[in-house]
């Protein structure tokens, strides 16, 4: 990679949209300098508004290929747990080649919508019969290869999955591809840390008991004091009831009482929290990982975002099951659900006159970068050059300027106005198309046809 410089027509620097910003990028793919009000020179022009790319803080890439398979009416009370059974049957057919092809397509689609990095919550470890592959890291290496092909910034989160439910319940047959013992998990993390940045991901309080959770926290510390720690928590009301029956405490309260939750942590979903849990989660400095399109698709419930923000809570957004590739759709749902709740408008931003779109984008970018442990989320010296260039001639953006352009991006249109995307100093989307899009799409199509015949 070589150092380069660009002159953006405008760029989002902090909370302001500034004109004529020269962006210098060093040979390591980081922002070396920012020069607002720069005169035109002999550097390449970026026609449009440059904004920081959005981190995708929670992704199960393989689920992109099962989107739509669980949308058939079931018995009365159809719910998340029935969806999970569909998912178990689906993943039983996946080969390592399938996993790589699907992940590359998932990441490429996200890049075209403005996701520049992804935290892959990787719990698919074993062969369909539950045995280890000859290369135990086979599927994790496939994720890395897919990320490299797509050009997305990857934080790999190997998942520790030990049990089928609270109280060390035995795992079901559909969960056998997820299971690893401590030695196997530690070896996987060590192997993958040689390839990409990693975090540690105890799957959930359902799947990881207290002793294993404490051990996982020690393992995270051994990889470094800034190692991210992610886990699912309180996604379903039934999970809260089961946790109460097991421990006498609600899931988030139990976690805050028994684990060193701090700014390294991302609590994914945390949908069902009471007022005390909400305030304590905000005070911990952890990030709430909100995946609105998946949470809506699964009928999870509604996270108490307004009181959480009022308490100073941090959040980011994730594609989770990948029923949507767009961070903008996640942000719309964040605002729109709360409008429906309150029968009011512009409710996630309380400062009079402030841009709701700009506020959501900034908070999600900052919280997502924190959750990934990636120096990104803002256009700032020293951060990764993860840049998204918006096309001002796109129908959704024509005639908009400054932060009004960001409001238009978040709250209008269904086609993406993303023109170009850079990750770590390398262009991966040009003129609205992924630079390796045709090859990635062809591989994905072959996988989808094979799966259609197998399922």
Q: Active-site positions? A: 269, 320
CB contact at 8 A, 13 and 36: yes
Distance CA 20, CA 14 (A): 15
CA dihedral of 431, 434, 439, 445, whole degrees rounded to 10: -110
Strand extents, DSSP E, 103-194: 115-122, 153-160
What single string gives the DSSP state of each residue in 66-91? GTTTT-S--STT--HHHHHHHHHHHH
Are the C-beta atoms of 156 and 197 separated by less than 8 Å? Answer: yes
Q: In angstroms, rounded to a whole number, what is the distance separating the alpha carbons of residues 84 and 307?
A: 30
Contact (Cβ atoms closer than 8 angstroms) between residue 188 and residue 158:
yes
Task: Supply 170's token pair.
Answer: 């035995």
Q: Cα–Cα distances in Å, from 195 out to 115, 175, 188?
A: 21, 27, 11
CA 82-85-86 angle, 5° bins = 95
Asked if 159 contacts 231 with a C-beta cutoff of 8 angstroms, the reply is no
Cβ-based neighbours of 116, under 8 Å, separated by 6 or more: 52, 53, 54, 55, 152, 153, 376, 386, 387, 388, 421, 422, 423
The residues, ordered by sequence, that sit 6+ positions from 218 with a Cβ below 8 Å of its Cβ are none
Cα end-to-end distance, the chain, whole Å: 43
Whether 314 contacts 286, CB under 8 Å: yes
Distance CA 71, CA 378 (A): 38
d(CA 231, CA 227) in angstroms, rounded, equals 13
Residues 34, 436: Cα–Cα separation, whole Å: 29
Q: How many CB atoms lie within 10 A of CB 423?
A: 26
Give φ, ψ of 404 to 5 degrees.
Answer: -65, -30
* 429 token code pair: 């989307």
């Amino acid at each position: 990679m070589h150092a380069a410089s660009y002159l953006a027509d405008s760029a989002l620097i902090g909370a302001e949209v500034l004109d004529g910003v020269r962006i210098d990028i060093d040979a390591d793919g980081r922002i070396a300098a920012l020069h607002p009000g720069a005169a035109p020179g002999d550097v390449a022009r970026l026609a449009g508004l440059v904004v920081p790319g959005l981190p995708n803080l929670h992704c199960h890439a393989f689920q992109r290929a099962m989107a739509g398979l669980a949308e058939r009416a079931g018995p009365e009370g159809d719910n998340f747990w029935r969806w999970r059974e569909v998912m178990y049957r689906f993943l039983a057919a996946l080969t390592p080649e399938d996993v790589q092809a699907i992940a590359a397509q998932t990441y490429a689609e996200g890049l075209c919508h403005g996701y520049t990095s992804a935290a892959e919550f990787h719990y698919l470890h074993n062969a369909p019969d539950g045995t280890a592959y000859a290369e135990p890291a086979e599927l994790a290496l496939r994720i890395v290869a897919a990320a490299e092909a797509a050009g997305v910034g990857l934080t790999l989160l190997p998942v520790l999955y030990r049990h089928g439910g609270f109280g060390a319940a035995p795992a079901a047959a559909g969960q056998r591809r997820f299971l690893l013992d401590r030695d196997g998990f530690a070896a996987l993390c060590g192997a993958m840390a040689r390839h990409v940045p990693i975090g540690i991901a105890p799957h959930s309080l359902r799947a990881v008991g207290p002793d294993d959770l404490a051990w996982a926290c020690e393992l995270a510390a051994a990889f470094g004091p800034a190692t991210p720690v992610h886990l699912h928590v309180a996604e379903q009301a039934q999970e809260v009831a089961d946790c109460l029956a097991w421990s006498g405490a609600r899931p988030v309260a139990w976690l805050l009482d028994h684990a060193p939750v701090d700014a390294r942590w991302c609590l994914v979903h945390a949908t069902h929290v009471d007022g005390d849990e909400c305030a304590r989660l905000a005070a911990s400095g952890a990030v709430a990982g909100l995946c609105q399109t998946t949470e809506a698709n699964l009928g999870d419930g509604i996270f108490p975002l307004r009181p959480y923000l009022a308490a100073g809570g941090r959040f980011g957004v994730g594609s989770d099951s990948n029923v949507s590739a767009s961070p903008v759709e996640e942000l719309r749902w964040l605002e729109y659900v709360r409008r429906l709740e309150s029968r009011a408008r512009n409710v996630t931003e309380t400062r009079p006159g402030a841009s709701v779109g700009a506020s959501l984008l900034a908070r999600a970018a900052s919280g997502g970068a924190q959750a990934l442990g990636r120096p990104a989320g803002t256009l700032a010296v020293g951060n990764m050059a993860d840049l998204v260039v918006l096309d001002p001639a796109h129908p959704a953006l024509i005639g908009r300027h400054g932060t009004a352009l960001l409001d238009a991006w978040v709250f209008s249109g269904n086609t993406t106005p993303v023109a170009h995307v850079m990750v770590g100093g390398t262009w991966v989307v040009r003129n609205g198309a992924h630079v390796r899009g045709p090859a990635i799409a062809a591989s994905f199509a072959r996988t989808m046809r094979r799966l259609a015949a197998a399922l």
